[in-house]
Amino acid sequence: DAGVIQSPRHEVTEMGQEVTLRCKPISGHNSLFWYRQTMMRGLELLIYFNNNVPIDDSGMPEDRFSAKMPNASFSTLKIQPSEPRDSAVYFCASSGDLYGYTFGSGTRLTVV
């Protein structure tokens, strides 16, 4: 098993541009989570899905952020328009109930 796969690993973009982060969860896992990690705020849960349905998006910072999970093997996190304060490492994780999470390697986003 290749684990949770995130792409791209690094993204540098200009303020105002649209950014799309991608995640492929582990096959058979029914929950998917998007986290953001910064030095100032630590690890923040943005949104999570269960069986492809968004369950809790209360952590999404504002309307510029959106997430989708069109099927069990793919999810996207989109930021439009991006701002410098969105610079962070974004992690995707998947879970198969009671077994904890498996995290991807993250996408380091830099907005200049």
Partner 1 sequence: AQSVAQPEDQVNVAEGNPLTVKCTYSVSGNPYLFWYVQYPNRGLQFLLKYITGDNLVKGSYGFEAEFNKSQTSFHLKKPSALVSDSALYFCAVSVLLKSSGDKLTFGTGTRLAVRP
Q: Are 24 and 4 in contact (CB under 8 A)?
A: yes
Of 45, 68, 81, 87, the residue at the interface with partner 1 (CB under 8 A) is 45
Shortest Å distance, C-beta 81 to partner 1: 27
- Chain centroid offset of residue 17 CA: 18
Place of tokens 């030095």: 39
CA dist 47 and 54 (Å) reads 7
Total residues at the site for partner 1 (CB under 8 A)?
Answer: 25
Find the binding residues for partner 1 in span 9-38 (CB under 8 A).
30-31, 33
CA dist 33 and 51 (Å) reads 12
CA dist 95 and 28 (Å) reads 9
Find the binding residues for partner 1 in span 49-88 (CB under 8 A).
50-51, 55-56
Of 28, 40, 42, 71, the residue at the interface with partner 1 (CB under 8 A) is 42
Q: Which residues bind partner 1 (CB under 8 A)?
A: 4, 30-31, 33, 42-43, 45, 48, 50-51, 55-56, 91, 93, 95, 97-106
